[in-house]
Structures are given as C-alpha cells and as structure tokens.
Amino acid sequence: GAVVSQHPSRVICKSGTSVKIECRSLDFQATTMFWYRQFPKKSLMLMATSNEGSKATYEQGVEKDKFLINHASLTLSTLTVTSAHPEDSSFYICSAPGTGNTEAFFGQGTRLTVV
C-alpha cells in the first residue's frame, strides 16, 4: 500500500519558537494532503487541507497565521507551527487520499510539546 512518512515523530520546543512538521508521500504523488490535530483524550479534528501549487484551505477556527501549511511538491506537505505556545501541544497527523478519494494513508504522527 501507499506509504506516507511524517517527521519528526516527537518534538519539544520552547515557547515562542517555530516548529516544522513534514509529511511525504513515498511511493505516490499526492496533490492533496490533510492535516489533523488530536488533543489529549480526544478525537482527531481536521485542521486544513493542503493543495499542491495553491493555498491551503483551513477549517473554521484554525488560525492560518499560526499554522502555516505549504505543499511545495507532489510528494511533500509541511505544517509549521509558528510562535508556539503550550496550548499548541498536541498530536498532529497528516494523511493523503488514495485513488478515488475512498481511503486515507496516514503518516505516523508528530507529538509536539511546547515548554
């Protein structure tokens, strides 16, 4: 099956700094990738949809300037958490749709801790 690689798996950063999370499709091209966020003991909520060659689409309530998404190529999407605060600490996970958009291939996820 298709493989999506997400890095880093864990990151600890200081408040006020920025953190970049990468999501790569290893054996297929992904014109679209989805970014989800999971708060502790909660479900996964879609944050934004990244589109290769165009601006990302953000879900309601997600701060565009805080969560910068770039889809620079057909195999790479990045999420940058800018000016991180402790409340940004979360599990972030990306996914790429499969053929016909009928399934999803997930990255391994990134656990971000802001101290």
Of residues 38 and 82, the one with the C-beta less far from other proteins: 38
- Strand-strand pairing, 10-13 and 110-114: parallel
Q: How far is the CB of 62 from other proteins (least distance, A)?
A: 13
Instruction: Give 66 or 111: the residue with its C-beta nearer to other proteins.
Output: 111
Q: Which is nearer to other proteins, 14 or 99 (CB)?
A: 99
Three-state secondary-structure class, residue 100: helix
How far apart CA 27 and CA 45 sit, in angstroms, is 26
Question: What residues are paired with 44 via a beta bridge?
Answer: 38
Taking the least distance from each CB to other proteins, the nearer of 42 and 64 is 42
- What is the closest distance, in whole angstroms, from the C-beta atom of residue 30 to other proteins in the complex? 10
Please state, in angstroms and rounded to a whole number, the distance separating the CA atoms of residues 103 and 89: 28
Q: Which helix (H) or strand (E) covers residue 93, if one does?
A: strand 90-97
Interface ranges with other proteins (CB under 8 A): 32, 34, 36, 41-46, 49, 93, 95, 97-98, 100-104, 106-109, 111
Give min distance, CB of 60 to other proteins, in A. 13
